[in-house]
Chain A
Amino acid sequence: MEFRIVGENVPRKDAVAKVTGKARYTRDMGMPNMLYGKVLRSSITHGRIKSMDIHKAESLKGVVKVLTPFNTKCHNFPTAGHPYNLDPNHQDIADRNVLTDWVRFYGDEIAAVIAEDEFSAKKALKMIDVVYEELPFYLDPEEALKEGATEIHEGSKNVVGHNRFTLGDIDIEEAFDQADFVYEEVLEVKPVQHCQMENQVAYAYVEGNGRLVVVTSTQIPHIVRRILSSALNMPVGNIRVIKPIIGGGFGNKQDLVLEPLVAMMTLAVNGRPVLLDMEREECITSTRTRHGARFYMKTGLRKDGRIIAKQLKVYGNGGAYAAHGHAVIGKMGGDFYRLYPAEKAVEYESYTAYTNCSVAGAMRAYGTPQITFAFEAHMDNIALEMDIDPLVLREKNMVQKGFVDQLTGVPILTCGLPEIISKGKEYIDWDKKRKQYSAQTGDKRRGVGFALFGYRTSTYPVCLEIGGARIVMNQDGSVQLQMGATEIGQGAATVFSQMAAETIGIPYEMVHFEEFTDTDVVPFDPGAYASRQCYVSGKAVRKAATEVREKILKRASGMLKIQQFALDVQDGNIIRADNGEVLCHVGKIALDAFYNRTDADTITADVTEVSDTNCIAFGGCVAEVEVDIPTGRVEIMKVLNIHDSGKIINPVLAEGQVHGGMSMGLGYALSEVMLYNEKTGAPRNNNLLDYKLPTLMDTPRLDVLFVGENDPTAPYGNKALGEPPAVPSAPAIRNAILHATGVKVNKLPMNPQTLFEYFCAAGLI
């Protein structure tokens, strides 16, 4: 495939608006006469509300209404940004209502105030008296799952979901019996938070025609609309959801957080506009987190390093409500099995538990960062025990082109893993440094580490994958590209415009993309998640653009009296296909389509494309670190992410995605963790000072390399890139620490506290 615009560093569509302050985010808009909403959050971790006195709050000047679980209810709803499933057995768990009298985590939503101004709303919250009856709480999934534990949701036994699969010709125990070497261990990761710069914010009102409008900072406008419809028992067509420019999501906005409540608020005040926004402390505690998990991992190998049996049991910390249910932890099974397929047998079992932690959901790479940390750490531990180079162990076992996934039936047609390893080794001078750093003494020690991953592009075949695109040509030959797929800061507007320009044959500047996603305007598409949009929605763009191109050529053929096959559209001109002679500008064809008295028919395409293929993006990270043993501090000397994401649509934007993912991965590795008070269950670091996301001073130079070939199943050769960069840094750094110190750190984050404890236990301190 040869491309002209796909693969070029065209300027971002929204960059100028964002550097001049003209970009409109949700909080920058609003309505005249808008009221202000605020939520009262629980100050206990688990329990029932015995009584709630709203009298004083209601009588405060400026307060319009006080909502409680006793006067405000809709249908229970699920919150996950998943496509709807027609099979009732596969629908998301509807365990949430707008306000609750059963508190399930510290910061749960128990009442809300609607006031004329923010000040009165906040003041009124303090005037609501609540009497609780407290229940035991659980911060650890295995504690919550113990026989006799108090249920967090009635009848659930605290199980959100469970799954298990086995693969292979023989029983797992028999396979372990045949192994020359069996290694077994426990690994653990803790919950972390997205910390996108824009907190959740939404406002809602009822239009004169009775339709509900919700303007919200979301990744999934069409899903928000569908879930609101069932929660409010309102026809989908009566609801309009608008997504303005949004200040980051990373999965935190692939969930309904504010929308049902803000809708209930406006309905409670006769449709008057109500704004509901979150403070940072609320956003960290009461939106979503990345699941913590504990991994019980066992692997059997032959003497030569071939894996013959793999077993894994995972306990995931789902937090207080189901949200994405068991999907995140369940997905780990595929990642676990696929990257290093075992010769004889695989057994996977996982539980997601309700706990009284903040609600876990989707966060950049949906379970893959957690499981990749666990099995990439496990691989290096095995390599150490068997005295094999960790990359040799990987090369002996890693998946290859031509492999067919037994769980999904998806074949791997492109695989950049060999190149990822060779380029990474070269970058870090692997062979030399593995030897050089093998026998160090002293306080400061260096090491190099590597980690690989595979990442499924889109959710097929687990979920339906469908994308929509509409292209409308203007009188000047430029086009409007309208999509339900959402720009959330990742650059979707730019790359979709590149795709449309490429396929139609017009310059990039002639494609106009409206970044406000309005469900009244754009075709259906579930939205931004699963690194799916360039692949799935990209197929819809290609289909719509092909149709537009055909219509242009057909009309040009009639106008120019030249057969259609002899014409082409290139760079905005109709040309002769054989010699490139420019015949006319597309604007001339468009104008004829609008105004020809006998044959007017504007050039448009409105398509839906169901994606029934998938492909695996691969990648790796290689890092060199210096560990200061007495203080437990780690300095990153060099770090490189290498990605096989197929065709890179826009290299500058893609590099930016990788930098951001690496930074998130470094935070996951070294500093980030949600801390809870063990005695009360209250969050201890729900602010940006105590929650340690990397600052500029913590961030080393981030190197990026793209390898691989175009994937034949993709619309433009492209594979997943949005989420994958966040996956491999943590295990690569962990393996470098192992190389430097010989200490197997099986836990994240590897902050000074954790490392100090490990080094003490290992006798280094």
Chain B
Amino acid sequence: MLRKITMTINGEKRTLEVDDRESLLEVLRERFSLFSVKQGCSVGECGACAVLIDGLSINSCIYLAVWADGREIRTVEGFEQDGKLSVMQQAFVDEGAVQCGFCIPGFLISATELMEKKRSFSREEVRRALSGHLCRCTGYQKIVEATEKGLK
């Protein structure tokens, strides 16, 4: 069944009809070309599709699009301001956290969620907060280092 929903995507209000079986992942990729939202497993195991929903990092592959009605959605496409990378994006670039890059938008989403809490985190807290994301290239080390740098 089609339903009309309204959500804010990267600061812009969008109203559209979605099939109530559609995931938010499908809608963001296929209707809005937000390709940073990556499909790695489709069942919430890898974290590559995470987006910020009202400030919380959530796997969009197991989040129905209809649930997003009235909510604020953010992806890494919306992180740059005035043509400048966000502090966290810049930290990922500077620390060499990026390799194949497929998991990186998801990590950036969770790292940004932490950053917006505006408090300090222990390494253990950072590690736990990022542990819902899988990466096969980096052994996570530079990703954790970059996140800690971005949080400073």
Contacts and interface: CB of A to CB of B under 8 A. Distances in A.
B85 A656 contact: no
A592 to B, nearest CB: 34
Interface string A1-25: 0000000010110111111110111
A147 to B, nearest CB: 41
Contact of B102 (A197, A280, A660, A693): A197
Interface in B65-117: 75-77, 79-80, 85, 89, 92-94, 96, 98-105, 108
B140 A663 contact: yes
Contacts of B39: 27
Contacts of B29: 28
B137 interface: yes
B130 interface: yes
- Most-contacted residue by chain B among A9, A198, A199 (CB, 10 A): A198
Contacts of A653: 96
A280 B46 CA distance: 10
B9 interface: no
A246 B100 contact: yes
B139 A660 contact: yes
B54 to A, nearest CB: 20
B98 A280 contact: no
B144 A656 contact: no
A279 interface: yes
A197 B103 contact: yes
Given A197-B102, A489-B137, A20 B41 contact: no
Given A16-B85, A21-B35, A11 B93 contact: yes
A287 to B, nearest CB: 14
B141 interface: yes
Given A659-B142, A660-B137, A664-B136, A14 B41 contact: no
B40 A20 contact: no
Contact of B35 (A24, A246, A490, A697): A24
A12 B134 contact: no
A12 B102 contact: no
Contacts of B94: 11
B34 interface: yes
B41 A247 contact: no
Contact of A687 (B43, B108, B127, B139): B43
A245 interface: yes
Given A197-B134, A489-B99, A688 B77 contact: no
A321 B142 CA distance: 38
A696 B137 CA distance: 12
B45 interface: yes
A590 interface: no
Interface string A693-726: 1111101011000000000000000000000000
A655 interface: yes
A40 B134 CA distance: 28
B57 interface: no
Nearest to B108: A19
B75 A21 contact: yes
B41 to A, nearest CB: 4
A696 B102 contact: no
B18 interface: no
A21 B35 CA distance: 6
Contacts of A9: 96
A661 B104 CA distance: 18
Interface in A649-696: 652-653, 655-656, 659-664, 687-689, 693-696
B64 interface: no
Contact of A198 (B92, B102, B143): B102
B48 interface: yes
B137 A656 contact: yes
A279 B101 contact: no
B135 interface: yes
A702 B100 contact: no
Contacts of A689: 43, 45
B60 interface: no
A491 interface: yes
A23 B101 contact: yes
A195 interface: yes
- Most-contacted residue by chain A among B101, B103, B105, B143 (CB, 10 A): B101
A18 B136 contact: no
Interface in A1-60: 9, 11-12, 14-21, 23-25, 27-28
A248 interface: yes
B144 A652 contact: no
A19 B41 CA distance: 20
A196 B128 CA distance: 22
Given A198-B100, A248-B102, A660-B99, A19 B139 contact: no
A21 B34 contact: yes
Interface in B114-152: 127-128, 130-131, 133-144
B101 A18 contact: yes
A194 interface: yes
A652 B96 contact: yes
B139 A247 contact: no
Contact of B80 (A20, A25, A664, A699): A20
Interface of B: 29, 34-43, 45-46, 48, 75-77, 79-80, 85, 89, 92-94, 96, 98-105, 108, 127-128, 130-131, 133-144
Given A25-B102, A27-B35, A248-B99, 6 more contacts: A12-B93, A14-B101, A20-B80, A21-B36, A21-B37, A248-B137
